[in-house]
Structure 1
Amino acid sequence: MRKIIMFNRISVDGFFAGPNGEIDWFIADHELDKALHEMGEPDMDSPDTVLLGRVTYQLFESFWPKVAADPESPEEARVIANELNQMTKVVFSKTLKEVSWQNTRLVKGNVIGEVSRLKQEKGSDILIFGSGTIVQQLADEGLIDEYLLAVTPVVLGTGKPLFKDVKKLNLKLLETKKFKSGNVLLHYETEKG
């Protein structure tokens, strides 16, 4: 069975975005980006699929293809952009009419049913970036196997909580890394049963 691994940046007080979806409080961190690629290796299968909600998809689609095509972009960013371009992207949205980024398909139906089906298919691990409402639905159903949380040293006070209305989850800490930026990367797995 394929694993689902969630990555999100969060504030110290647990928000993944400000009250209006703002993410201007993120601290850019190339060390953290590099650590994400290395974390879990060689145990983790290289992910080949990413799950996105509409907002995250539109943000990514407006940014990453341009980075991949820009020879002036930093090498690390181009590597990430090329990986995202090649991955299968599954976008969950009831309002989008179409998706245009290569290797992307739009799903308007049942998130839980579709993700349960994807987990049963052959393939590598599946990632979720951002997409708080999808994370909340999948976490509540116990479908997320691992959590990568990049804790940014900021208290927002208000915003969109990552685990809003999610049932209790027991997590086992696998690894931590701290960075000069003040970001801390926490890697957890869900304790089953």
Structure 2
Amino acid sequence: MTRLIYNTATTLDGYLADDSDSLEWLFAVPGAAEAESSFPAFLEGIGAMVMGSTTYEWVYAHEGLAEHPERWRSAYGERFVLVLTSRALPVPAGAGVRLFSGAVREAWAELESAAAGRDVWVVGGGDVVGQFADAGLLDEIRVSIAPATLGSGKPLLPRVLGSDRLTLESVRQSGQFAELVYAVGRPA
């Protein structure tokens, strides 16, 4: 059964990115390479991905995809990626990226089909994940907490999810990061 998984890193005070949508704080954390060592195994179980336009635009710019579209495949392979956006965005040549404007519930059937029995990774951002949680489609949150604070920025998950919906499944240390995995129950 295809699950929808939010896998991300956050600061200790719960921010994904700073006020300028930058992730530079993440790259400055010592031991980040060790924390990423389990990522290839996670990615093997992913058949499709979904992200919001801000996350997509950051990846597009950060990876220099306008000049080097091949970098998309080296990072994400042949996976189908749905970008939730209300505007036209550039798409790297040869990438399986589709722009989508609409409710996440409408996108789910396409994501599930593209995943072909594997899981769907919600890359970000927090509001996109919140929309899936609101729709009762989010199954798991995997969050790696970094030893850094920002004071403000883009929140991890700008929604209220009570303890009645979140069940801690595992905790592990990976370098300087603490990885928490929560199962997410359906809304009442």
Fold match (TM-score > 0.5):
yes
**1:138-178 CA distance string (max 9 Å, x none):** 12222111111010111222122122133435222222221
Moved over 4 A (4+): 64-69
Is 1:89 the equivalent of 2:110? no
Q: Say what the alpha-carbon RMSD is for the aligned residues.
A: 2.8
Alpha-carbon distance, 1:113 to partner: 1.9
SS of aligned partner of 1:86:
coil
Deviation at 1:61, TM superposition (A): 3.2
Partner of 1:147: 141
Q: Give 1:1-193 correspondences, 5 Å limit.
A: 1-26=1-26, 27=29, 29-38=32-41, 46-62=45-61, 63=63, 66=68, 82=74, 84-101=76-93, 102-115=95-108, 118-119=111-112, 122-168=116-162, 170-180=165-175, 182-192=176-186
Q: Aligned partners of 1:165 and 1:16: how far apart in 2? A: 14
C-alpha separation in 1, matches of 2:121 and 2:77:
14
Distance (whole Å) between structure 1 residues aligned to residue 89 and residue 56 of structure 2: 13
Moved more, 138-147 or 59-68: 59-68
Q: Distance in 2 between matches of 1:98 and 1:191?
A: 36
Unaligned runs of 5+ in 2: none
d(CA) in 2 for partners of 1:175, 1:19: 30
Query: Normalised by the size of structure 1, how large is the TM-score?
Result: 0.77
What is the distance in 1 between the residues matched to 2:5 and 2:123?
Answer: 9
Deviations 1:81-101 (A, max 9, x none): 536031111111102245235
**Which runs of no fewer than 5 residues in structure 1 stay unpaired?**
70-79
Q: CA deviation at 1:179?
A: 2.6
Q: For the structure 1 residues 123 and 64, does the alpha-carbon distance in structure 2 shift closer, same or farther, using more than 3 Å as the test?
A: farther
Listed one character per residue, the Cα deviations across residues 27-65 of structure 1 (whole Å, up to 9, x for unaligned) are 2612221223346xxxx9711101011121122234186
**Identity over the aligned pairs, expressed in percent?**
23
Residue aligned with 1:36, SS = helix
Instruction: State the SS of the aligned residue for 2:5.
Output: strand
1:17–1:159 contact (8 Å) kept in structure 2: yes
The Cα shift of 1:4 comes to 0.5
Q: Which amino acid aligns with 1:148?
A: R
Residues 97 and 31 (structure 1), Cα distance of their counterparts in 2 relative to 1, 3 Å cut: closer
How far has the Cα of 1:106 moved from its partner?
Answer: 0.9
Question: Displacement of 1:104 after TM fit?
Answer: 0.9
- For 2:85 and 2:103, how far apart are their aligned partners in 1? 10
Residue aligned with 2:16, SS: strand
Q: 1:98 to 1:157 in 2, by over 3 A?
A: closer
Distance 1:178 1:68, change over 3 A: farther
